Amino acid sequence: MHCPFCRHPDSRVVDSRTTDDGTSIRRRRQCPDCARRFTTVETASLMVIKRCGVTEPFSRNKVIAGVRKACQGRPVTEDALAKLGQRVEEAVRATGSAELSTHDVGLAILGPLRELDLVAYLRFASVYRAFDSLEDFEAAITELRELREQPPPAQDSGNGEAGPALPVPVTAAD
């Protein structure tokens, strides 16, 4: 790490702390040449490969902006959108992959969005899964109704026994 003051090619880490959200590390550094201190923030890079082949850094804000469009006119708060964005980012980072396709990010959005608002889910899914007929909408609505009619999953009782697995998110057929 070059010193931003004197451009010395090395620095010493004085202190390291994780940020509040745990996604990055804040390091306090000191230059051995000029003795000035500076702060760096390190994050693991996560790249998204777009359909056109262009690669860009993952952006939680872009996820939230896309979902916000699907939620227009729906009773969804900004706080709920922020939580959804965090869940999606945690899910895609948990894959352990440094690069994901936009398809993978879309899949990560569908599950939490379905839990948040079914109408917004249908709006998002209609674009993401490229619905092009009424039958596509009807099939998606039928799937949602079937999922809703299933008994709710049992909550973890705290004794180490989890309830049944949650239903798998509805995804586009490839």
Domain ranges of the chain: 12-42, 47-148
Does position 151 have pLDDT exceeding 80, yes or no?
no
pLDDT tens string 27-85: 999 999 999 999 999 888 889 999 899 999 999 999 999 999 999 999 999 999 999 99
Does position 141 have pLDDT exceeding 70, yes or no?
yes
Does position 23 have pLDDT exceeding 80, yes or no?
no
What pLDDT, on the 0 to 100 scale, is given for residue 148? 81
160 against 150, higher pLDDT: 150
What pLDDT, on the 0 to 100 scale, is given for residue 79? 96
pLDDT tens string 71-128: 999 999 999 999 999 999 999 988 888 899 998 999 999 999 999 999 999 999 998 8
What pLDDT, on the 0 to 100 scale, is given for residue 161? 46
Q: Is the pTM of this model over 0.85?
A: no
Give CA–CA dist 109/111, Å, rounded.
6
Q: Are strands 24-30 and 37-43 parallel, antiparallel or unpaired?
A: antiparallel
What pLDDT, on the 0 to 100 scale, is given for residue 22? 72
Q: What is the DSSP string of the chain?
A: ---TTT--S--EEEEEEE-TTSSEEEEEEE-TTT--EEEEEEE---EEE-TTS-EEE--HHHHHHHHHHHTTTSS--HHHHHHHHHHHHHHHHHT--SEEEHHHHHHHHHHHHHHH-HHHHHHHHHHHTT--SHHHHHHHHHHHHHHHHSPPPPPP-SSS---SPPPPPP----
